[in-house]
Homo-oligomer: A and B are copies of this chain.
Amino acid sequence: MAAQRRYSRVEEADLRALRDIVGPENVSTRGWDLAVSSANAIGEVEGRAEAVVWPASAEEVSEVLRYCSERGIPVTPRGSGSSTSGNATPVMGGIVISTRRMNRILEVSREDLLAVVEPGVVYESLNSKLRELGLFFPPEPASGSVSTIGGMVGNNSSGFRAVKYGVTRDYVSGLEVALPSGEIIRLGTRAPKSSIGYDLVRLFVGSEGTLGFFTKITLKLRPLPEARRTGICYAESAGRAAEAIFDVMASPARPSAIEYLDSRVLRLLSESGYPYREAGAALLVETDGTERAAEDDMSRIESICRSRGGDFRRAGGAEEEKLWSGRRALGALVARLSPYIIVGDVDVPVSKLPWIVEEIYGLGREAGVGLVVFGHAGDGNLHVNILAGGRDPESRRRAEDLYARIIERTIEAGGAVAGEHGIGVEKRGFMEAQHGRRVLELMRRIKEVIDPSWIMNPGKLLPD
């Protein structure tokens, strides 16, 4: 187990060996580089790399990993570091291997609807290239302007549009992986469909850098929709909004996004100058596809919402843009409310949404801790922002206790402790409650098959 294991510190001889592999200019121990490579997007995870390495090829990664396995040096794979769960922070020290120089789009095939990329390609860069060909890679995370494809695959990331298009896991057709042993393996195929033994591709997707380092990723693509429609449905209560969600999701109309905004969030948004009004709750809805399909789906959603008593309105042009930019800004708006925030990412069966939202606010009131909850309603995915108030130990403890109770309720509801942010450091303590002891034991033994020295991203995903 990681906890019992003793890792080696990075010594001068190690730096020389790493420089021999990737070139002297691609290993750094400068303070600034170490700080940047150790930082979190959010949260209080602490860790500091002893060195950062920028390899340019699978072969270089492979040599670095083989070396670190032999020496027992922890390795943290890192893209842009936008994880909200502390995934890319080297909590056990050792080296960070950055994907910064492995950022080439190697191939895009319109006929096969595939792209082959290196792990450091940024989501938006890939999509801006794909757009020219009328294609896209759908699982847009809110952080898509910085998130790398390698990080998305490691984390099984997603966002708004997962409700229609699915998550990263659904789009990974093949992986080239450098294993901690230094071996380079190829998983999966270029075929659209396969049933060829244990699905190791999907074992590695979402493994958060704990099994190997992705050196090449083959992604499935989709044709770009030619039209979008946006509508917003204000409901008098959370319960009425939830009924509309059930009906929309069970209808043949398919939203490409359906976001839940409660009364507190609506107030925050309208006070911040976004074109929202106060109400019991609201659903921000998008449809897409061909012109007709987008229109047809939206008009059906409109009538479902109205039949549930909702005040529904279409939004176009500048207003449409402002509605979505308000939704996208929510994370940042909420961050201003408190110097320290825990960002939860629970996911519950859709039928449990109204119950759990009320439950969460009730627990917050009891604990005297502020909360802002919003999320991807069609997917049951709620971002629970716990406003700790301060960074002092007492405020943090209260916020963490509240978080633990929210997680308990999530598991009770048959839900998942993370919908799209992964486990990282932050949710390791909930893994046993989520999976049970025996399943965790299986995960640990699978980890040991692939990474017997436990050098890959130690301190993440699996509890000690």
Contact surface of A with B, Cβ cutoff 8 Å: 109-114, 134-135, 155-158, 162-163, 166-167, 169-170, 183, 185-187, 189-200, 202-203, 205-207, 223-226, 246, 249-254, 289-290, 292-293, 296-297, 300, 347-351, 376, 378-381, 413-423, 427, 431, 434-436, 438-439, 442-443, 445-447, 449-450, 461-462
Contacts and interface: CB of A to CB of B under 8 A. Distances in A.
Contacts of A166: 170
A414 B450 contact: no
A447 B110 CA distance: 37
A206 B252 CA distance: 29
Q: Count copies of this chain in the complex.
A: 2
A242 to B, nearest CB: 9
Nearest to A424: B195
Contacts of A431: 196-197
A148 B155 CA distance: 33
Contacts of A163: 192
A250 B112 CA distance: 9
Contacts of A183: 438
The residue among A246, A349, A431 with the most chain B CB atoms within 10 A of its own CB is A349
B462 A415 contact: no
Q: Which 9 A-B pairs have the closest CB atoms?
A: A194-B416, A190-B414, A111-B351, A191-B347, A191-B416, A202-B202, A112-B349, A156-B195, A292-B296
A250 B193 contact: no
8 contacts: A111-B349, A185-B438, A185-B442, A193-B379, A193-B416, A193-B420, A195-B418, A253-B290
Nearest to A174: B414
B349 A190 contact: yes
A287 B422 CA distance: 36
Most B-side CB within 10 Å, residue of A158, A169, A379: A169
A349 B462 contact: no
Contacts of A423: 195-197
Contact of A192 (B199, B206, B350, B421): B350
A183 B254 CA distance: 40
B438 A442 contact: no
A418 B194 contact: yes
A297 to B, nearest CB: 7
B439 A186 contact: yes
Contacts of A202: 169, 199, 202-203
Contacts of A417: 196
Of the candidates A416, A417, A427, A449, the one having the most CB atoms from chain B within 10 angstroms of its own CB is: A416
Contacts of A449: 442, 445-446, 449
Contacts of A189: 347, 414-416, 434
B300 A296 contact: no
Contact of A416 (B158, B196, B246, B381): B196
Contact of A223 (B190, B250, B439): B250
A394 to B, nearest CB: 30
A162 B203 CA distance: 22
